[in-house]
Amino acid sequence: MVDIVQLNRETNAFVRTASFNHPYPATKVMFAPPKVEGDLIATSGDYLRIWKVSEDGTEVNLRALYNNNKASPYCAPLTSFDWNLIDPSIIGTCSIDTTCTIWNVETQQYKTQLIAHDREVYDIVFAPHTTDIFASTGADGSVRLFDLRSLEHSTILYENPNGSPLLRLAWDRYDHNYIAAVVAEENTVVILDVRSASVPVATLFGHSHPVNAVSWFPGQARYLATGGDDRQALVWDLTNLPQPIKNPYLSFETDEEVNALQWSTLHPEWVSMVHGKYLQVVRV
């Protein structure tokens, strides 16, 4: 089940305005970029699905289902996806079958599919300033850069020295040179500079337990939010990169593990967090 909630400004509480059944647990849920007319939602899990929200916001209906396996009605489970900010007709998905697939939302056909890693791919993210470049990461512990204009080659931006998988990626929308990567089952986040491969420009050690989520501030400042199993959400000031970053700028305590967080693009002073069964929004 996926719920859509909205803030009731009179009661200052979130209320559920609509919900829809999802056949399998969703690995990611994302609203379409602002350029898209109307409210569309993409979800990944067993397939990539696009959902349409009614004008009054009370109903959600399936608009399209995308299967990248032409030989079978089934496809390998999808671990994540990303919607291209510059051209919203493009969505990229990643899968446990080591592939990334780039979709044309309008034609409901995939533009290209490639073997991106040696093992399962856990995340994919488009560069926020272009339609052609994206990064992926996964169980082989590497971050790789791809250019849709030249898929014959890819760039290995980073390889985890101990071989641990990398779980999540986030590309800085303010300074497009920086990518944050979450190390699976570890309490660290590495900050990568696309101009200098192999060595992280910074490593963040503020959490005491594994990190689950990461999100860049969407405005003109270099802040990063992270959340983890230590029941904390931390905000880091990375203005002085590449100088070492020792301590977080802000911290928020929660009752349970922080499994997801996201900075609001419309109201950048707000960060939403999911911990346990609760959705919490805090003002930074």
Per-residue pLDDT tens, the chain, 284 aa: give them: 899 988 888 888 888 999 999 989 999 999 998 878 778 999 999 999 999 999 888 999 999 999 877 666 677 899 999 999 999 999 999 999 999 999 999 898 989 999 999 999 999 999 999 999 999 999 999 999 999 999 888 899 999 998 899 999 999 999 999 999 999 999 999 999 999 888 999 999 999 999 999 999 998 889 999 999 999 999 999 998 888 888 999 999 999 999 999 998 888 889 999 998 888 888 88
Domain range 176-284, CATH class:
mainly beta
Looking up tokens 């080659």 gives 153
Taking the C-alpha atoms of residue 17 and residue 267, their distance in angstroms, rounded to an integer, is 20
Cα separation, 145 vs 6, whole angstroms: 36
Return residue ranges of the chain for CATH 2.130.10.10. Answer: 1-159, 176-284
Question: How many other CB atoms sit within 10 Å of the CB of residue 129?
Answer: 11
Report the alpha-carbon angle 100-65-166, nearest 5. 30
pTM: 0.93
Count CB neighbours of 27 within 10 A.
Answer: 18
3.40.50.620, 2.130.10.10, 3.40.1280.10, 3.40.50.10540: which CATH number matches 1-159? 2.130.10.10
Enumerate residues 6+ apart whose C-beta is below 8 A from 237. Answer: 222, 223, 245, 249
CA 222 to chain centre: 18
